[in-house]
Structure 1
Amino acid sequence: MESTTTEILHDFLHLMRVYKDGRIERLEGNDVVPASVDPITGVQSKDVEIAPEIGVGARLYLPANADQQHKLPVLVYFHGGGFMVQNPFSQTYATHLNALVSQANIVVVSVDYRLAPEHPLPVGYEDSWVAIKWVVSHFKGDGQEPWLKDHVDFQRVFFGGDSAGGNIAHNMAIRVGSEKLDGINILGLILNHPFFWGEEPIGNEDAETNYPDKAFVDRLWRFVNPLTVGSDDPMLNPAKNPDLPSLGCSKVLICVAEEDLLRDRGWYYYEVLDKSGWKGKVEIMETKGENHVFHLYNPTSESAVAMVKKVATFFNQHKD
């Protein structure tokens, strides 16, 4: 009989394996690179504790020559990884955010939220809200972080993220729309290959050639959120959320990739939001011939460079 130390209970491809003896093996995003000054872009980074009692922190990024500039927009960023892997201190996110901060000339707060299954959803959402409230506390002068107090224009606040982080960013903007945020308005939302889904397949989601397939995504969602009502949970399927017209920002940029299983959900979000009665402006960019979060795994490719440039332009459109 096979030992329980090697018998797999849950297998989520390149993300995670859970063994019958309770052992959890994360298959990516375990590395940590120190905060530093990036030698290529001159972008500075440092790590901060936000709520150490629950383990919520962030990595902050500041563009070169920030001391010589007017106050800058701030992006509160949520990393991807299916709510179960990755971290804001990995080389993957350091590379991406150094490039974005340099091109867009913004401050970034990359949030370290707790991961499933040790901390199943909605913990990740609640941790993200704690981080947002911490950022906004600096608007009233109560915060202690000098990079936020000295360099951020709190009239230009953005949320963003990739994959599961895009899902979090969207849901945080929904929460801002319903609860408000200490007088702060969220200017824009950037969703890179956002993790949205639904019970009924749309587009190419039920094609037999898909890898992973729809059943995999349904199973992953129930794993990270055991109390969910299913794949039509409003946190996962924005079309089922009656609060969608109250999305708490004025502009949304969605990035999708042609070969991504989540592509059609990105387009569906674009269409549903545009017709929902929401008063803002939504735009979408599709990258041909690329797959899910390609810009993270091949950041110097022509497609990745073009995508970062598009996102940087989105910030610049809102400058005075």
Structure 2
Amino acid sequence: METELLYDMSPYVKIYKDGRVERFIGTEIIPPSLDEKTGVHSKDVAISSDSAVSVRLYIPKAATDSLRKLPVLVYFHGGGFIIETAQSPGYQNYLNALVAEANIIAVSVDYRRAPEHPLPAAYDDSWTTVKWVASHSIGNGPEEWLNSHANLNKVFMAGDSAGGNIVHNMGIRLGEETLKGIEFSGVIMVHPYFWGNEPLPSEITEPERRTSVVENLWHAANPTTTGCDDPLINPAMDPRLSGLAFNRILICVAEKDIFRHRGWYYKEVLSERGWSGVVEVMEAPGEDHVFHLTNPGCDNAVKMMKKLVSFMNEVDK
């Protein structure tokens, strides 16, 4: 007898009641390398013997030829907490390009994925990684690339989709638990995966097939959730929001993306709650969710890359 389906989120993933998971996208992986096009070197590192989390580190060729320490970007990949990895070709190619353009070091987090490891596993692994990066603050951490080349007084976080959601939730944790030895200069949320039980006025016309995938992904990733008004996915419901521990936020949205309205709403809610930082929204006309990964050479992706680079290279005010 065929096992019953628990969630059918084709063409992305099917999850069965016996725990089996069929992923249809985001399954390809490629090894780290020295990228000939950009000169960026990458390698995979297990961050501790007692942790399941690993990272893919990226360093530009210029770093090894200079004594100047470089800013650090901690990056969280997307995929609804369920698909894609830090070894996915789209992320490898994008981070090679971003690291070369911005002249930074990147730490791409390979957190454990749901449903095999339901939330909060991804959040916990991400937090473990941020603490691991901070452990290099006086130059005696476990990773020599960070000891020798990282400026931990200028650290950024970024992520797309579920990774954008993780960036927000790391900010909530940082507001409650101070990390010594690391200073965050800003964060970037690209098409962040936020939602809510009540549709925003601009979401009412969204087809049910699209909204049901958004909601089912969340319930599949977090089976014990209270629903789509859980503060983890609906920041407007979090009483701790004003304590978000960032001073600068760049939110990237896309005109045709189902999450577009939530990105703008996030900015609005931060203002209403008295959060004291600066938030900017950049919208890509005519584009859909994570277009910059699927079509990195298009005009809007090039503009977005330039914006991310300038955001990270601005002198702190």
Confirm or deny a common fold (TM above 0.5).
yes
Kindly provide the CA deviation profile for residues 5-59 of structure 1, in whole angstroms up to 9, marking residues without a partner as x: 5x53311123211234432111111112111111111111111001343420000
Matching residue of 1:62: 59
Matching residue of 1:79: 77
* 2:205 maps to 1:197: no
Q: Secondary structure at the match of 1:139?
A: coil
Q: Secondary structure at the match of 1:249?
A: coil
* 2:74 maps to 1:93: no
Q: Secondary structure at the match of 1:199?
A: coil
Deviating more after overlay: 275-284 vs 202-211: 202-211
Matching residue of 1:148: 146
- Whole-angstrom CA distance in 2 between matches of 1:168 and 1:78: 7
Matching residue of 1:273: 270
Kindly provide the CA deviation profile for residues 181-236 of structure 1, in whole angstroms up to 9, marking residues without a partner as x: 124232111000000111110033231546512x3322221111111111111111
- Whole-angstrom CA distance in 1 between matches of 2:5 and 2:227: 24
Correspondence 1:137-286 to 2 at 5 A = 137-209=135-207, 211-213=209-211, 215-286=212-283
Q: Pick closer, same or farther for the CA change 1:244–1:22 going to 2, 3 Å.
A: closer
**1:180: how far off?**
1.0
Kindly provide the CA deviation profile for residues 118-160 of structure 1, in whole angstroms up to 9, marking residues without a partner as x: 1000111001111111111000334121111111111101111
- Whole-angstrom CA distance in 2 between matches of 1:176 and 1:95: 30
Q: Pick closer, same or farther for the CA change 1:54–1:309 going to 2, 3 Å.
A: same
Q: Pick closer, same or farther for the CA change 1:66–1:141 going to 2, 3 Å.
A: closer
- Whole-angstrom CA distance in 2 between matches of 1:10 and 1:262: 21
269, 294, 303: which one pairs with 2:291?
294
Q: Is the 8 A contact 1:75 1:109 kept in 2?
A: yes
Q: Secondary structure at the match of 2:210?
A: coil
Q: Is the 8 A contact 2:135 2:181 kept in 1?
A: no
Q: Is the 8 A contact 2:12 2:23 kept in 1?
A: yes
| Number of matched pairs | 316
**TM-score, structure 1 as length reference:** 0.94
Matching residue of 1:102: 100
**1:272: how far off?**
1.1
**TM-score, structure 2 as length reference:** 0.95
Match of 1:303, as an amino acid?
Answer: N
Q: Is the 8 A contact 1:185 1:249 kept in 2?
A: no
Deviating more after overlay: 297-306 vs 156-165: 297-306
* Identical columns (%): 53
Q: Is the 8 A contact 1:188 1:252 kept in 2?
A: yes
Provide structure 2 residue ranges, at least 5 long, that are not aligned to the other structure: none
Q: Is the 8 A contact 1:173 1:186 kept in 2?
A: no
Provide structure 1 residue ranges, at least 5 long, that are not aligned to the other structure: none
